[in-house]
């Protein structure tokens, strides 16, 4: 109420007329006159001396007008700043992502994005914990799998194909499985998304001998390289190990659940330009399109062109 009355008073002073002020404000002249009268009554002072031909500010009215005018200028500046943020990406972008995704992909993509939009600053947390996007003020959370919270927007980025791997040393000591049924006699290194009783196969229940469990795929890969057992990992993270011979891919015909990567954010409505621009940039950095199955060669393509 007070801010509205201050706006009406300011417009009357600047228009030097109740009639013109009413036109600018889209009000009836009688409404403008009544609002000024109520304002003076509430403040207990006379702000304007009126005649049939002109308006003149009182001394108190002049001081009040100067303060009101500054408030209106600050308000207009605040609105302009918000609109400008929506016109060009700027400000602090807070992102969380799985550790390996950040190391393999996100770092280069975000760096290229910040090069294109120098008004962007960023805070990134690489983590395997569950992040409360709203409570923690996160703009975008990159997650493995779709979130359970239906109030959040989940945009699928891509899938990463999983395969079985083991080290040459392990295979020499324990033999090489030639069919998925042969896995029953082998040592399993498992992830949190895997069953703890069966190998991670889509259409078969082959019992496993769990010897190691970890929530970090890099750790699992290194344990497999050291000979601890057989693991089912995203193909993109094992590419170098395959090339240098420290891991061997097993059972290429086996069907494992793919790892789905999502971008999670609070809302599409009134979405900040910095969030929209980064999501578009992120999707534009993928080699084909949204939701694709990303192979190791695709990761090389992405990072080489950024």
d(CA 293, CA 142): 16
Return the pLDDT at 298.
Answer: 46
Return the pLDDT at 287.
Answer: 57
| Residues 175 and 156 placed together within one structural domain of the fold | no
**Final residue belonging to a domain, choices 35, 64, 87:** 87
Cβ atoms of 154 and 266 within 8 Å: the answer is no
| Residues 129 and 266 placed together within one structural domain of the fold | yes
| Residues 150 and 264 placed together within one structural domain of the fold | yes
Q: In the block, which residue shows the tokens 């308006």?
A: 55
Return the pLDDT at 2.
Answer: 64
**Final residue belonging to a domain, choices 87, 116, 144:** 87
Return the pLDDT at 289.
Answer: 44
**Final residue belonging to a domain, choices 87, 117, 147:** 87
| Residues 22 and 167 placed together within one structural domain of the fold | no
- How many domains does the chain fold into? 3
d(CA 162, CA 296): 11
| Residues 148 and 168 placed together within one structural domain of the fold | no
Would you say the pTM of this structure is higher than 0.75? no
* Sign of CA pseudo-dihedral 280, 283, 284, 290: negative
| Residues 62 and 142 placed together within one structural domain of the fold | no
Sheet holding 248-250: strands in order across?
A: 209-213, 187-190, 230-234, 162-166, 248-250
CATH number at residue 60: 1.10.10.10
| Residues 148 and 167 placed together within one structural domain of the fold | no
| Residues 11 and 66 placed together within one structural domain of the fold | yes
| Residues 192 and 243 placed together within one structural domain of the fold | yes
| Residues 220 and 268 placed together within one structural domain of the fold | no
CATH number at residue 124: 3.40.190.10
Q: What is the pLDDT along the chain (306 residues), one digit of tens a residue?
A: 467 888 899 889 888 889 888 998 899 999 999 999 998 998 899 999 887 677 889 999 999 988 888 888 888 777 766 665 556 788 899 999 998 889 888 999 999 999 999 999 999 999 988 888 888 989 999 998 777 777 788 888 888 889 999 999 999 999 999 999 999 989 999 998 888 899 999 988 999 999 999 988 999 999 999 999 999 998 888 989 999 999 999 999 999 988 788 999 987 655 788 998 999 999 888 754 444 455 544 444 444 445
> Which residues constitute the domain of residue 60?
2-87
């Amino acid at each position: 109420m007070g801010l509205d009355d201050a706006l009406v008073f300011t417009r009357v002073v600047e228009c030097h007329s109740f009639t013109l002020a009413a036109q600018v404000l889209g009000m009836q002249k009688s409404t403008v006159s009544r609002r000024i009268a109520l304002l003076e009554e509430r403040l207990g002072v006379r702000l304007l001396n009126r005649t049939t031909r002109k308006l003149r500010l009182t001394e108190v009215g002049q001081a009040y007008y100067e303060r009101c005018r500054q408030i209106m200028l600050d308000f207009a500046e605040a609105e302009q700043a918000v609109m400008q943020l929506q016109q060009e990406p700027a400000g602090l972008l807070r992102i969380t992502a799985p550790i390996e995704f950040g190391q393999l992909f996100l770092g280069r993509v975000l760096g290229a994005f910040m090069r294109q939009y120098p008004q962007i600053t960023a805070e990134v947390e690489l983590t395997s914990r569950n992040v409360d996007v709203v409570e923690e003020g996160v703009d975008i959370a990159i997650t493995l799998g779709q979130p359970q919270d239906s109030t959040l927007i989940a945009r699928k980025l891509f899938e990463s194909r999983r395969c079985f791997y083991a080290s040459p040393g392990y295979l020499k000591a324990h033999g090489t499985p030639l069919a998925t049924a042969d896995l029953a006699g082998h040592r399993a290194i498992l992830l949190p998304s895997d069953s703890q009783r069966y190998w991670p196969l889509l259409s078969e229940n082959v019992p496993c001998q769990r010897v190691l469990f970890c929530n970090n795929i890099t750790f699992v890969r290194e344990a497999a390289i050291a000979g601890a057992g057989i693991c089912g990992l995203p193909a993109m993270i094992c590419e170098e190990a395959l090339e240098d011979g420290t891991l061997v891919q097993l059972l290429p015909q086996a069907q494992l659940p793919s790892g789905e990567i999502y971008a999670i954010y609070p809302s599409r409505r009134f979405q900040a330009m910095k969030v929209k621009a980064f999501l578009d940039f992120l999707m534009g950095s993928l080699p084909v399109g949204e939701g694709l199955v990303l192979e190791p060669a695709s990761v090389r393509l992405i990072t080489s062109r950024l």
